[in-house]
Amino acid sequence: MAVETQPQPQPTHEHEPITRDRLFIGGEWVEPHSSGTFEVVDSTTEQVIGTVPAGDAEDIDWAVAAARPAFEQWSQVPPHELAERAQEIAELVAREVGMPLNLSLMIQAGLPAMDFSSMPGAVEEIAWEEQVGNSLIVREPVGVVGCITPWNYPLHQICAKAGPALAAGCSVIVKPSEVTPLTSFILAEIVEELGLPAGVFNLVTGDGPTVGEAIAGHDGIDMVSFTGSTRAGRRVSEVASSTVKRVALELGGKSPNIILDDADLQAAVADGIQKCYLNSGQTCSALTRMLVPREKLEAAEQIAAAVVEHVRLGDPLAEGTSLGPLVSDAQRERVRGYIRTGKEEGAKLVAGGDEAPEGLDRGYFVRPTVFSGVRPDMTIAQEEIFGPVLTIMPYDDEDDAIRIANDTIYGLAGGVWSGDPEHAKRVARRIRTGQVEINGATFNPVAPFGGYKQSGHGRELGKFGLEEFLEVKSLQL
């Protein structure tokens, strides 16, 4: 089946390389302890577009020494500063991650501003002091927070942690993914321009085994907030246990999208594909498992095939692109491997496949893929693929649908479609996930975000995200 691809010649994305050779610690741009660097690669052209320092454990010691005395109550970052640099942020993420520019501007640049702008309201919603019997209950900042963030929504994931942590009165040490670190330097520049107290915000780039583990195990850091894979989250918890620090985890997902027999099948399938393919499927809460009544399976396949045929795959900076590349060669090979596994295990290939897209010889592109007739025991029904791969799974009745929906180690997100919203809500209450959208409802940036089971613990965004960074103390009067 043909998928629209952008016309040739392939893009060059010609820009001057971005060289970042300093870390932001104690309110200053400082030389890192080591001389190592990480290269940042344009996911469309496969060319190096920048370098950042490879920090180490001594840099974390330095950042902790700056963050501890800076740990005091202070006002949160004004949101307009991020908005002024939205275009720059969106273009960087489009090049690093591969999200089409129009979506990147709205999501990758828009959400970080919302993360900060929601904090004044969240601060007002917190009961900072309350009387319980003869006790005065007070809420206080947890202390120095290490923020370890992933590559798929690079700036949003930093702001979703740093915004509420700073608003709570904490100081932060941020370690972005070494794969997509460039936008974090923009945030550090904004912090510097605002003249916030030295040491309140610190940026140390590096990889997980070096800088990430140094943060998780450091006895001068009071809390770690981590977003990433479930495997890496287990390691963060293990290392952090040595100091019994608080850990918040937002991990993987294999989110179900239940289409009930009274739903508008055309609308539900079309929306479900969009929710699966957002950011080229590189979204932890993507609705990757579409559950449909067995008698409507063939009709769902036909709708999915027709929708995918009009997906426009190509340069994320080009107008009209709806699906860009994956973030790296390693991620591309991982996703293609899952597609091959799906075929080997007997799933029906409705669209796409593991072959390279025609006319896109360069860039980490994967064909938008749909499998059908997928059984719950198949690999592609259980493991997080993190690419544009949808699995359509038939069910026999409502109880069967809920059983299949809950039959994974994950519990991050989900969806329910029904002609009766009340019916949909009853089903949603039975799904063991942190979020469930009803009939394609939009993402709410101030609603609590987080998961059940091995999708993690703790919540981000809005008032609930702010509460994660507070300790509760009782004063007996």
8 or 150: which leads in pLDDT = 150
Q: Give the whole-angstrom CA distance, residue 439 versus residue 271.
A: 9
Average pLDDT for the chain? 93
| DSSP conformation letters of 208-275 | IIIIIHHHHH-TT--EEEEES-HHHHHHHHHHHGGGT-EEEEE-----EEEE-TTS-HHHHHHHHHHH
| DSSP conformation letters of 353-368 | -SSPPTT--SS-----
Q: Which amino acid is at 118?
A: S
The percent of residues in the chain predicted with pLDDT above 90, rounded, is: 81
| pLDDT on residue 83 | 63
Structure tokens at 106: 């709205």
Q: Give the whole-angstrom CA distance, residue 342 versus residue 354.
A: 10
Between the CA of residue 431 and those of 265, 361, 423, 443, 463, what are the distances in Å? 20, 42, 13, 18, 24
Determine which one of 250, 384, 437, 468 is catalytic: 250
| pLDDT on residue 7 | 44
Model confidence pLDDT, tens digit, residues 192-219 = 988 878 999 999 999 999 999 999 999 9
Model confidence pLDDT, tens digit, residues 167-180 = 888 999 999 999 99
Rounded to 5°, angle at Cα 255 from 253 and 256: 160
Q: Give the whole-angstrom CA distance, residue 447 versus residue 191.
A: 26
Q: Give the whole-angstrom CA distance, residue 313 versus residue 455.
A: 30
Domains in the chain: ranges and CATH = 13-251+454-476 (3.40.605.10), 256-446 (3.40.309.10)
Nearest to 98 by CA among 273, 282, 227, 309: 282
Q: Give the whole-angstrom CA distance, residue 288 versus residue 292.
A: 13
Instruction: List CB contacts of 21: < 8 A, sequence separation 6 or more.
Output: 31, 32, 37, 51, 53
Q: Give the whole-angstrom CA distance, residue 125 versus residue 8.
A: 53
| pLDDT on residue 8 | 45
Model confidence pLDDT, tens digit, residues 118-140 = 988 898 899 999 999 999 999 98
Nearest to 63 by CA among 204, 186, 158: 204
Q: 284 catalytic, yes or no? A: yes
| pLDDT on residue 216 | 98
| pLDDT on residue 282 | 97
94 or 451: which leads in pLDDT = 451
Q: Which of 109-113, 223-227, 379-383 is least confident?
A: 109-113
Model confidence pLDDT, tens digit, residues 276-319 = 999 999 999 999 999 999 999 999 999 999 999 999 999 999 99
Backbone dihedral angles phi then psi of residue 348, each to the nearest 5 degrees: -85, 120
**Is 80 exceeded by the pLDDT of residue 390?**
yes
Model confidence pLDDT, tens digit, residues 66-103 = 998 887 544 334 445 556 777 888 888 888 888 888 88
Determine which one of 170, 284, 384, 467 is catalytic: 284
Q: 140 catalytic, yes or no? A: no
Model confidence pLDDT, tens digit, residues 1-48 = 556 554 444 555 667 789 999 999 999 999 999 999 999 999 999 999
